[in-house]
Structure formats: C-alpha cells, structure tokens
Structure 1
Amino acid sequence: METLVEKQILVSIIVPVYKVERYLSICIEDIRAQSYSFLEIILVNDGSPDGSASICDAYAAKDNRIKVIHQENAGVSVARNVGLDHATGDYIAFVDSDDRIHHLFIELLLQHIGTHKLIYCGYDLFDQDAEVNPMDLLSIPAEPAQIDNDPLGKLVDVLQILYVVPWNKLYAKSLFEKVRYPVGKVHEDEYVIHELLSQVQTAVHLKIPLYYYRRRQGSITADATNQQGYRYKTEAIYLRRNFFKSIGRETDFITLNTALLKRFMLPTIKNDDKIWSKVSFADLFKENHLSLPVRLLLALKKMCYPLYTWLAKTGKRFMRGAD
C-alpha cells in the first residue's frame, strides 16, 4: 500500500513567533521530530525583540524544510496570514511557538482525515514552567476516530473551545482560499471559525490529546484585560450570530442571539459599546426566548446605566435570579 509520504501529501505547519526565545527551540524540535516528515515548516518572526529571530535562522540553516519569514511586528493574525500566503502544502496546521506537540501529531491526523477537509484532536494544558514530555502525556488509549456530521453546529455553544482554537486541527488548504484572520483582534480565531466550518459538511474527531498548550503569563491572550477580551469575544459572537442568520440557520441564530444578549448584562459592557449600542428596545422585547426579568434589566441598562450598575452591585441575588 502506498504510504502518505509516497503520495506526496505535503503538510505546511505555520508557527507565529514573538518573544518566545525561552520556549522556541523545544517547539521547533517537536515539529522536526514528527514521525511524518514530509513537512513545510514556516516560522513567521513577527518582529520579536528577543533572540527568537536568530533561533529561527539557525534552525533554517540545518533543516531545509524550514522557511523563515521576518516581518515588522504586526500581531499574530498577520503572522498567520503571511504563513498562509506562503504555504504550499496540501494541508495546513498551526502550532503556537511556546506549545508542544506529540511526535505522532501530524501522522495520526493525516491518517484519519480520509476525504474530509478537517480533523481535530484533543489537547492538554500545562503550566508555564512545567517540565513536559509529550511522549509521557499520551497515556490514555486512543478512541476510534468519530465522524462529526455538523461541526458548524457546535459553534452555537459559545464555550466550545475545542472547535474554535486553530492549533489542534489539520485543515485542507482550500478552506483558507477566501479566509484570513482579522488584524488587531484578541481571540482572532473566534472571528473566522464559522467561515471555515461552513465549508465542511463533516469533520473527523480524534479523541486523543496530541497537542499541549502552555499556559503562561505574557502571552497575547493573557495580556488582554478581562474587559477587553470579553468585548472581543462578544463581537465575535455577534458576527457568528449574523452569519447563522445569513445562511438560514434560524434556530441557531436565535440561540446565539439569546446568549449574546445575556452577555450584555455584564455592567462593564457600557452603553457606548459598539455592539450593545446597536441593540434597540424593540430587539429586547421581540426576543421572547429571554425571561422577562432579563429583558427588563437590559432595558433599564439602556435607559439608565448608573442605576443599572448600582443594582448590579447591590442586588446580586436579584441579578442571578433574572437569569
């Protein structure tokens, strides 16, 4: 039987690099050690002010699979987009430059993808300074790969991190033909995942943790304030809600609209917020999937934000009961 390498299936792994000199070498070594070796490894140095650029160049000098792109600092979205623009592989994978992957990560995903355009696996989290060996982390037996017949539908649950994150997946390159990450956003993956999954009727879910995400201070996501991050995620849900409506998935639109309106109960979302300000009184009272107390509280917020914030601080039991 012809092997995957013999079929000349090239996989492009895109790695945005910024201020990660402490972790970068071990990340690159994990990628170079993949059991599936027919790879194009694209390191996008996003104007990193530390020694990351030199590390990238040193690895490129000893591994001809590695391409290094140096650019002025423009953010992770631009780095991913530049990587996509330079990728020549049949499939795309993203790896964050401070994370780790199992040496079977690409091989197992590629083996199970079949005729599908997307496969995703499980992931584990580990702390910033933990000594982690991905070989040891794969301690649970792999369950058979499962077919997901409605991956887009999973996005109705706004907490479905497994489906949203970009780095635990293998994508057919064609999915990105008209899709790029938005510039200047935190939680940028939330803004595009529905556009990717809308092109996928079925996906494959490999229920085994092959990707290992490092939780560290100073990362782009960690640096975003809670309020700022909340606003970006809310904006992404708003776009996703509108997307479901545009493709005729009315039930999913209603579910996301309800979730979106409930998010606006947070007092730190002020009345001048660009998404919340678009919600009219009519929008609140035609939304019969919300309880009446919730609708009344949101109407109060529209009319008198100071009174609403006072009530939120002093009447927490009532606020919880409204949900």
Structure 2
Amino acid sequence: MFPEISVIVAIYKAELYIEKCIESLLSQSFKDFEIMLIDDGSPDKSGKICDSYAEQDPRIKVFHKENEGVAATRQFGLDKSTGKYIIHVDPDDYVDPDFLYELHHSVTENNSDMAICDIIYENGENISISKGIFEFQNGMSSLEILNNLIKIQSAGPCNKLVKASIIKDNNFKYNNELYIQEDLIFNTRLLSLDINVTYVNKGLYHYVVNSNPNSITKNTQYDKAYYKYSNDILNLILSILNGHAISKKIITSYKSHQIVNLYNARMLSWSDFTRYFFRYRKAVLASGNYPKSKGILCYLSCCGLYGLIKTINHLRK
C-alpha cells in the first residue's frame, strides 16, 4: 500500500535541529504518511541521526547522497516519493501536530490540487504569523494566489500540500542550476496551470528564523550579484506566465521585495540603487507589506537619496 502523503526533508548540516523536526512529524494526528529524509552529503551527524530514527519507525526512509544543493535534494525526494500528496519540511523547522491532518482534510473535502496553511515565524523570543494567502477570497485564481504569495514572500513549498499527480504528470522538476528561489520557480509552474487551491487559516508550520547558519534553504547574500540573479528569476517567472495580464502585478510585487532586501543589506552604491530601482520606486508603497516609514525610506532611496539615508543609518548605530 502506498502512503497518502510523502513528507520530503532535504537535510544538510542539521544535527542540532533535525531531531525536533522529525519528532514533530512523528507526532502527527494524521498517520498515513512516509517521511523521506534526504541527507545531502552532510559532514556532521545528521545522517546518523536519520538512520537511528529509521530503525524505530518503518514510515521513515533515509537516503544518503553526494552534496548537490537544495534543488537537487528536493528533486531526489520527489523522484523517490510514493504518496498521493507531497509536502516539504525544512530540517531546522517543525510543525504542529495537526499540520498534515488539516492540509489533507482541506484538499480532500474541497477536491483541490493544493492546500496552503499559515506560517509561524520564530526569531528568538519574537513570534509572528504570516498569512499563507494574503487577502484570500473564494474563487481567486491560482495566478492571483501566486501574486499574493510573492507579495508576502511565501511562495516556498513547506506550507503547501500538493497532489503528486499534478507534479509528475506535468514532469515538473526543481531546477538545480538555481541556488535560491528554485522553489518559487517550481510553484510558479504549478500555479500557472490554474489549479484549484484551498486555504487553511491556521498557523501550522513553524519557520525558525536564522536557526541554522548552514541551512541549504535560508542563506541569501543580498548584494549586486543577488540583484542580477533575482532579475533572472523574475524573467523566468515572466516567461512561464507568457504575457498573462497579471504579469505587471507580479513584477511590482517581486520588485518591492528586491528593493527592501537590498535596502536592508546596504551593500549597493548610491548610483546602482537609483539606476536599478528608480522606475519601480512606487512598488514598495503600492505593496503595503512593510511599515509606512520603511516604505517611504525605500521610495526616497530609489529617487536618489539612498547614499544619504545609508550614511544617516550608519551614524545612528
């Protein structure tokens, strides 16, 4: 018998976190699942910890492979999975006991192709919740949902249960040439199919911010190289959408995060920041996803005041 759900965990140097992750999966109220622990050539004890859990529970399958990065590791898990539904969990995060039950109940009761729950962000003592679908409304198209997910930077796979046949029948694969945002491209391809998506209005996935300095999914260097790379990502998104009317909205949503990420990093020159973002100066204000004060500072930075604001912020520290 094949399991109802395959949970894929791509692992690299996660020995300090992986036990909490696995324990949270084994504590699920929903029981019909397999856990695919994919060790991406970890040089620490991650692989041995996974092996010890596999000896205790037959639902756990461990695979050890050479280091190739998160995209290839997630794809490896997809290729080996046998469940009717697929979901990913990062090894330095954990989930609520009803995580799988609530998502599975949503897709089966509504005959949908994907179910999304809210994410709880934990950064030390600071805990916040991010809505899985911003301003969700019944009847919203999957491309509108994609735009809203991009708005709140929640287009990754870890809070989304997906029907496996959608992925495999369309031969969707993670692009291992991408070192970040490969999950955004993957989900863009999924949501471009105009699939049926349902929303679980509960925080069930715990994203632990900055917990693992070796994470293969959470490390991004926001610099000039990131700007060029993220433009390539945006062009990939637009090529998938192929001129759809929502493309302009997605450009605005994506650019607003690109501006804020590079503003926060303070690594670009005055001229570079203005040259890159002047035409998108209203994107941050339009998105409404940031405090008004930050939106105004980012807007002014795009207008040519980035160097001055960068200097003032440096002097205030």
The TM-score by the shorter chain falls in which range?
Answer: 0.7 to 0.9
Query: Is the contact made by 1:90 and 1:172 (CA closer than 8 Å) also made in structure 2?
Result: yes
Distance 2:253 2:27 in 1: 43
In structure 2, stretches of 5+ residues that fail to align are 130-135, 283-301, 310-317
The corresponding residue for 1:300 is none
Q: Do structure 1's residue 86 and structure 2's residue 80 form an aligned pair?
A: yes
Relative to structure 1, the CA distance from residue 257 to residue 119 in structure 2 (aligned partners, 3 Å threshold; closer, same or farther) is closer
Selected match of 1:155 from 146, 149, 160: 146
The corresponding residue for 1:180 is 173
Superposition deviation, residue 234 in structure 1: 2.9
Q: Render the CA deviation track for 1:180-221: whole Å, top value 9, x for unaligned.
A: 111142122122211111234321001100100011151335
Relative to structure 1, the CA distance from residue 160 to residue 154 in structure 2 (aligned partners, 3 Å threshold; closer, same or farther) is farther
Query: Is the contact made by 1:119 and 1:169 (CA closer than 8 Å) also made in structure 2?
Result: yes
Q: Render the CA deviation track for 1:70-122: whole Å, top value 9, x for unaligned.
A: 00111111110000000000000111001010111111111121211100000
The corresponding residue for 1:194 is 188
Relative to structure 1, the CA distance from residue 147 to residue 60 in structure 2 (aligned partners, 3 Å threshold; closer, same or farther) is farther
Distance 1:93 1:260 in 2: 24
Considering only CA atoms, is the larger Rg found in Structure 1 or Structure 2?
1
TM-align CA RMSD: 3.7
Percent of aligned pairs with the same amino acid? 30
Superposition deviation, residue 224 in structure 1: 2.2
After TM superposition, the score normalised by the length of structure 2 is 0.72
What is the total number of aligned residue pairs between the two structures?
267
The corresponding residue for 1:169 is 160
Q: Render the CA deviation track for 1:269-306: whole Å, top value 9, x for unaligned.
A: 9999xxx8xxxxxxx9xx9x999xxxxxxxxxxxxxxx
Relative to structure 1, the CA distance from residue 41 to residue 214 in structure 2 (aligned partners, 3 Å threshold; closer, same or farther) is same
The corresponding residue for 2:58 is 64
In structure 1, stretches of 5+ residues that fail to align are 1-6, 139-144, 277-283, 292-308, 317-323
Within a 5 Å distance, the mapping from 1:213-228 to structure 2 comes to 213-216=207-210, 217-218=212-213, 219-227=215-223, 228=225
The corresponding residue for 1:122 is 118
Q: Render the CA deviation track for 1:151-190: whole Å, top value 9, x for unaligned.
A: 222333542323x111001100012211111114212212
Q: Secondary structure at the match of 2:151?
A: coil
Q: Do structure 1's residue 235 and structure 2's residue 232 form an aligned pair?
A: yes
Query: Is the contact made by 1:148 and 1:203 (CA closer than 8 Å) also made in structure 2?
Result: no
After TM superposition, the score normalised by the length of structure 1 is 0.71
Q: Render the CA deviation track for 1:244-283: whole Å, top value 9, x for unaligned.
A: 2x2x52x2123345667786997949999xxx8xxxxxxx
Distance 2:8 2:253 in 1: 33
The corresponding residue for 1:319 is none
